[in-house]
Amino acid sequence: MKLTDFKVLTFDCYGTLIDWESGMIEALRPLTSRAKKQLSRDDILAAHARHESSQQEVTPAKRYSELLAVVYKRLAEEWSVESSWDDAVTYGASIKDWPAFPDTVEALTYLKRFYRLAILSNVDNASFAHSNKRLQVRFDAIYTAEDIGSYKPNTRNFDYMIGKLETLGLMKSDILHTAESLFHDHVVANRLGLASCWIYRRHDKQGFGATMNPGAMPNTDFRFNSLADFVAAHRKEVGA
């Protein structure tokens, strides 16, 4: 299997293209700075992952920015920090401030020359529109949790994407799903027989950060530590 075997790259966005962990840590600082116990970066991200995942299961149709507000409320309760609903809403709106990884824009610009590009993200459309300005590329298709009414790792999100890509003349065998999260993306890709590429952004860190432990490690067809490494491997294949 080669990178050049595929016609479309379907990207998870947050954690893969956008550095959501750094964005979360910064946006949560007004809360974490008032916590009664010392919280490490990993403590904060793991707690966020727990509350986000459980809330996505309970309210799968809630817009992501609104869901993040509930996550903020749960974190404040867990850490015994007094906060207001306005604070929670402000956190939900912080997605627009989350930065792209340093290699993202250049990599997407290069990959757009060779592939069609699509997004499959656990986000709402308005929030992604802000992030898309940071990504500086026109995606051929954008599929959000708001469009679908559920959150990954629900299989229906992937089924929706695969079905809609077929209307663009792209078959499942044309797709290389490209993502950081094992829990949200690669486990489901394995289940559906979808080729996948792991962008292992957390290769130099312990644990799973802002995502849940996937349990048994899924298989991935490609693994790179960054999008820049993906591009380097593709250049080597095409002799560029």
Catalytic (active site) residue 5: no
Contact by Cβ (8 Å): 177, 120:
yes
- Identify whether the C-beta of residue 105 lies closer than 8 Å to the C-beta of residue 136: yes
Residue pair 18/182 in contact (Cβ under 8 Å)? The answer is no
Catalytic option among 12, 19, 185, 221: 12
Catalytic residue IDs = 12
